[in-house]
Structure 1
Amino acid sequence: MTMLADAETPVDEGVDLLAEMLPEDAHEGRPVVMDEQAKREARRAVIAGICVPGYIVPFGSREMPVARGWGSGGLQVTLAIGGTDDQVKVIDQGDEEGVNAVNLRRLIVGTLGAAATADTEVATIVQSRHRVPEEAMSVQHTLVLQVPQSEPLRAVEKSVYECKRRHAEADYAKMWVLLYERLALTGVMGTGTGHPVMVHDRYLMAPSPIPRWDIPRLHQSEHLTLLSHGRDKKIYAVPPYTDVEPLSFDDVPFEVEYLEGVRCAKCGTEASFMVETKTNEHICSDVQFCLKVRAGEADLDAHDVLIPHRYFPDPRKRVRARSSVEVGLPVPPPAGVTAPGEDWSLKVDGLGKIYRGSRGSSEVIAAADVSFDVAPGEALGVIGESGSGKSTVMKCIIGDEADATGSVRIGAVQEGMSNLLDLDASARRRLRTNTLSVVYQDPAMGLDLNISAGGNIADALIAAGWRSYHMIRRRAAELLARVDVPLERMDDVVGQFSGGMRQRVQIAKALATDPQVLLLDEPTTGLDASVAAGVLDLLRELLTERELAVVVVSHDFSVIKALTDRAVVMRQGRVIEQGLTDQLLADPHHPYTQQLVAAAQS
């Protein structure tokens, strides 16, 4: 493979029509499909992709003289890296003679002055969309895959910013949740084509829509694989001898498409990826390989090494769709962790937050010198009217507010020595996987309403590192049973639930990883009185069972009285009174607190 085309190779006779339509390079006599600047941009992206396997690299994609859907991204890569001494093989769904394959091959060969071939063994560049050739490829080969969807997270995350953030932090829990949901509903790990993979144990990648049969061929391959999407303007790569592992659970293996005993109707082999015909027969998807088998020219021993035997379906390891889960006694959560020599699990000291006005407008002091601590097994209430600063304090503890002053410490985090306000956003998010949990007023803020109740709990567990499907499912069932969500609704989408049921699922999710600190933000606001009473009863029981440090933010005195041991009263961003909840509500000292209590009792 050469990086620049030889200037003396004439145009192939098979592209006369194309040559008439496109301008010619005056020195080479070949049609100009990509200028040198465009080729350099594609090459730079290719090199960056090779240096960081699986990382999606943007490039200056150009319009190509091909129909939409023909794989302009793959075409640009092939034209950028190919040259006159290359042998180019182009396949579409395993066939070299399909309309797309024929036209792309003519365009590539005519532009580069390269030779065309249907034989994988002699090819140097193989451009494909739906298949990795059945025959072995080596260091002489470069596989170029035309990609219809460059962003693997698009199936679970619509925000481009969030996709970038998740790649940067290797936060791929949502993709495992998608696999969990499919397993729970269908009992099969299979995801059709383009199964997500981890490259070099770092980046999530969605291969071109190659069948699952071909996924193992990318692992530790001798050849270079380049993937490109023209419209998305993205290129990524799998260099030779790179780990490529399909996503799967530890106890439910990845499977390839394989039908035991089914043979190709043309060549008789049962050891290749096959497609079903209209006459219900099965034939090899790779046409050239099938022809070689029929002619006795295929190296079947070499091909046998490539067959993904270890990923053939194993009925013994299958799960039953929507299967019931036996719920045992819940495992007692670990005791609350305090800082050494202290009695608190959570300590807030001198917390302050100022909202800066724009263009000289006045500043707003949302919180000023707020201090309190919470011991394991204790619940602290934060009381105040709207605008008092209680929600700001909650957001600062969670990490939703930047530029707060003071300190927030958790006994389980570096023995209480680390100020959480000094941590970056990524570190704060990691804390919320197993140390700090939140139950929001609006369940939609704490749940994904588009997935099941079990899937929401799986989301929390997977983010915390759980990878056993059966353990995740059993844990989800135990938690849902504990919050009185019927197990027959475990696999129902949460968006179909009532408000009270959603709140119960959110509570179960918040408790999934046995956090040290639990924050409740107006947990019953917006619920009907009877539903709210049920949620309060549930919370009271759960707080009694667990050694959690709990902060309850609410303007509702009945909630504070039902759940908390101590309380602080806030006004204009400051704590104006604090004490035992019963005493504070029975005998308030500050005039503002007296007004609040009187208003609540009237």
Structure 2
Amino acid sequence: MSTTTELLAELYTEAAPTGLLDEGAKREIRRAALTAVCVPGYQVPFGSREMPVARGWGSGGLQVTLAVIGAADTVKVIDQGDDAGVNATNLRRMIAGSTGCAESADTRDATVVQTRHRVPEEAMTAEHVLVYQVPVPEPLRGVQKSVAECGRMHAEADYSAMWVSLYEDLVRNGMITRTTGYPVLVAGRYVMATTPIPRWDVPRLHRSEQLNLFGAGREKRIYAVPPHTEVTPLAFDDVPFEVELAPGARCRLCGSDDVFLVEAGTRGGYLCSDTEWCARVRAGDADLEGHRERAPLHLRPDPARRARATSPATATPRPQRVRPPRAADAPEWALRVDGLGKVFGPLAGGDAGATVTGTGPEHATAVSPATGAIVAAWDVSFDVAPGEALGVIGESGSGKSTVLACIIGDEVATAGEVRLAEVDGGRTEVLALPASARRLLRVDTMAVVHQNPAVGLDLRVSAGGNIAGRLTAAGWRGYHDIRRRAAELLDRVEIPLSRMDDAVRAFSGGMRQRVQIAKALATDPPVVLLDEPTTGLDASVAAGVLDLLRGVLAERDMAAVVVSHDFSVIEALTDRTVVMQLGRVVEAGLTDQLFHDPHHPYTQRLVAAARR
């Protein structure tokens, strides 16, 4: 019975000169490749049918090679560093037979090199195109499963989750253990996975002479690193990037110690991964001096430079960030909300005013008689000064959480304005900003403590890693600085520092809430929003969280908005309070006054319930 290779060989022998790819498919791939060259590191989708090739041949790399190669080219194929393996040999013959190009196992003779796993040890030149067969193109796949969310993260350069994965690796192992797929920043913009090459080859991408084209067939993505492009491995400022190298290891055949080496299996020792280079060294046909200058020997592992996980117990607290003094013309408030409204459902003739008519406490309904829409909140206004805590109280369905969701950007407000003194002195209307800009505000301007800690935390990540996520999003790049800051915050919220490196999923509900509070405070935001911070906690645990919040809010000059249905929580934490019922503010004033002398019947019921 014929093998797959023999069947394919027969197809190519009988095929037209265009081979397996027709001209339409070639044009599609070339257009994608040109776009990828113009936007280095960006994954460009392309449309092409699957290639009927053997397992391990790399359909994405093969499609790119067949689209860019011509009869005047010479093709070389590397499979795991080997030119003479079954896959490499058959691919090389298939490409040559399909396109009419020449074939060679010598990098110096080749113009197009298709590779799986290695960049050749021979110096690449401007005459080379290096095509990679990519198994996993998405660098964020390990930290984010949603394809749509990965796209958003790339669009907004939101790579904090990637930094957290490096942080966690350092905590667990004292070094970053990633091999293939080490993340790099391309042209200062996109984080790219270097799959399939090992860390040893990553420095070869930086300002390379050759054009690098990456093809992922299954995901139908092409991306590129053009010649002379900046390619920087992600690494903390105080933990240098390292390549793989076993101390004292040399190739058993040629004696090289400045190449990527692989273990020699049952025979022991090490061998050059690049079999062509090894053979040429033994034959005396290699530029050893030039190769040693190119080799990333300065990036060899050095235990003295490695991160030693800072002991949380002995961590030196980092000085707290001191905000500049308020300008003379700065507003007295840190957060101001004017006429905020949210309607879920259709508007009557596009008119929000007509839609809300007939709703609210006086009508005992939040359902619009005109359209059936839900008027979750309407005409809500308040402001909060630095160092002040404002309570927003109401029963479930009163609209208090909807107001908070509109402020932080989880919901799109139907009407109203939100301003932050930290944003353009309060002149900019925050709700009018693009969603990406509003998400950035949640990094160091406005923090949120959610009712459910699972919303505000990554339960798979350690307590310190969750704080590291917020700090790296704010631009922190010092591993030890991050460790010290995380230890300081966790100690402040009374998390035992012995648990700093434990996954949050192993924590109790009260401990998770404390970690979420520590994360919210990490960048000293001027505004913090707390949504039902003690709901779902046992009474004793809730009391501890309230004590913690009281102390934190008292010692930091930040504005806080506390949303709760429990008047005892509001009384414990806030200075002023607004009371909401069926989407409207029905009463507002000093918290003590509202608690001791409520005027509105609804407020009186809430106070009576709190006193029972």
TM-score by length of 1: 0.94
Give 3-state SS (helix, strand or coil) of 1:470's partner.
Answer: helix
Go from structure 1 to structure 2 and tell me whether the alpha carbon gap of 1:110 and 1:202 turns closer, same or farther (over 3 Å shift). Answer: same
Kept in 2, the 8 Å contact 1:33–1:65? The answer is no
Deviation at 1:322, TM superposition (A): 7.4
Aligned to 2:8: 18
Within 1, Cα distance between the matches of 2:215 and 2:552? 51
Aligned to 1:412: 422
| Superposition map of 1:268-279 within 5 A | 268-278=255-265, 279=267
Identity level (%):
64
**Partner in structure 2 of residue 114 of structure 1:** 101
Among 481, 487, 491, which residue is 1:471 paired with? 481
Q: Offset of 1:309 from its aligned partner?
A: 2.3
Is the contact made by 1:129 and 1:208 (CA closer than 8 Å) also made in structure 2? no
Q: Work out the CA distance in 2 between the residues paired with 1:335 and 1:307.
A: 46
Question: What residue identity is the alignment partner of 1:123?
Answer: A
Listed as ranges, the gaps of 5+ residues in structure 2 are 349-369
Of 310, 313, 334, which residue of structure 1 is paired with 2:322?
334
In structure 2, how many angstroms separate the alpha carbons of the residues matched to 1:66 and 1:341? 67
In structure 2, relative to structure 1, the CA distance for the partners of 1:182 and 1:332 (3 Å cut) is: closer
The residue number in structure 2 matching 1:289 is 277
1:530 matched to which residue of 2? 540
How far apart are 1:338 and its partner, in Å? 5.9
In structure 1, what is the equivalent of residue 158 of structure 2? 171
Q: Report deviation, 1:409.
A: 1.0
CA distance in 1, matches of 2:154, 2:160: 11
Identify which of 566, 569, 573 aligns with 2:576: 566
Please give the per-residue CA displacement for 1:45-89, whole angstroms capped at 9, x wherever unaligned.
111101111110011132223123320100001111111111111
Does the 8 Å contact 1:199/1:205 carry over to 2?
yes
| 1:51 matched residue in structure 2 | 38
Asked if the contact 1:355/1:365 (under 8 Å) is kept, the reply is: yes
Indicate the SS of the match to 2:530: strand
The alpha carbon displacement at 1:596 in A equals 1.8
Deviations 1:277-296 (A, max 9, x none): 12221111000000010011
- Code of the residue aligned with 1:299 in structure 2: it is D
Alpha-carbon distance, 1:366 to partner: 1.6
**Structure 1 residues 258-267 or 428-437, which shifts more?**
258-267
Q: 1:103 to 1:325 in 2, by over 3 A?
A: farther
- Alignment of 1:540 onto 2:550: yes
Residues in 2 aligned to 1:325 and 1:221: alpha-carbon distance in whole angstroms:
45
2 CA distance for matches of 1:75 and 1:373?
61
Whole-angstrom CA distance in 2 between matches of 1:473 and 1:372:
38
Does residue 353 of structure 1 match 2:342? yes
Alpha-carbon offset, residue 310 of structure 1? 2.5
Measure how far apart 1:341 and its partner are.
4.5
Alpha-carbon spacing, 1:335–1:89, altered in 2? closer, same or farther (3 Å): closer
Please say if residues 12 and 94 of structure 2, whose CA atoms lie closer than 8 Å, have aligned partners that are also in contact.
no
Letter in 1 for 2:338: D
Task: Give matches, 1:104-143, under 5 Å.
Answer: 104-143=91-130
Aligned partner of 1:593 in structure 2 is 603
- Superposed, which structure 2 residues align to 1:363-402 within 5 Å? 363-402=373-412
Q: 2:290 aligns to what?
A: 302
Give the stretch that moved more between structures: 52-61 or 435-444.
52-61
Aligned equivalent of 1:497: 507
Q: Secondary structure at the match of 2:387?
A: coil
Please say if residues 208 and 227 of structure 2, whose CA atoms lie closer than 8 Å, have aligned partners that are also in contact. yes
- What SS class does the counterpart of residue 91 from structure 1 fall into? strand
Which of 205, 220, 228 is residue 192 of structure 2 equivalent to? Answer: 205
Structure 1 residues 230 and 565: alpha-carbon distance in aligned structure 2, compared to 1, 3 A threshold: same
Structure 2: how far apart are the matches of 1:181 and 1:329? 20
Sort the Cα spacing of 1:341 and 1:306 in 2 relative to 1 into closer, same or farther, 3 A. closer
| C-alpha separation in 2, matches of 1:127 and 1:482 | 55
Q: Distance in 2 between matches of 1:90 and 1:589?
A: 82
Distance 2:122 2:516 in 1: 51
Normalised by the length of structure 2, the TM-score is: 0.93
Cα distance, 1:44–1:416 mapped onto 2, change above 3 Å: same
Q: Corresponding residue for 2:208?
A: 221
Partner Cα distance (2:606, 2:311) in 1: 51
For the residues of structure 1 that align with 2:605 and 2:313, how far apart are their CA atoms?
51
Establish whether residue 245 from structure 1 lines up as the match of residue 245 from structure 2. no
Cα distance in 2 for partners of 1:314, 1:144 equals 32
Amino acid of the residue matched to residue 486 of structure 2? Answer: A
CA distance in 2, matches of 1:446, 1:545: 23
- Cα RMSD of the aligned pairs, angstroms, is 1.8
- Contact map agreement 1:208 1:227 (CA 8 A) in 2: no
CA distance in 2, matches of 1:280, 1:291: 19
* SS in structure 1 at match of 2:79: coil
Alpha carbons 1:384, 1:570 under 8 Å: kept: yes
Amino acid at match of 2:377: A
CA contact (8 A) 1:338 1:412 kept: no
Q: Distance in 1 between matches of 2:87 and 2:402?
A: 58
Which deviates further from its counterpart, 323-332 or 192-201? Answer: 323-332
CA distance in 1, matches of 2:557, 2:406: 23
Relative distance call for 1:480 and 1:406 in structure 2 (3 A) is same
**How many residue pairs are counted as aligned between the two chains?**
585
> What SS does the aligned partner of 1:78 have?
helix
Structure 1 residue 158 and structure 2 residue 126: aligned?
no
Residue 257 of structure 1 aligns with which residue? 244
Q: Provide the rounded CA distance (Å) in 2 between the counterparts of 1:265 and 1:322.
A: 39
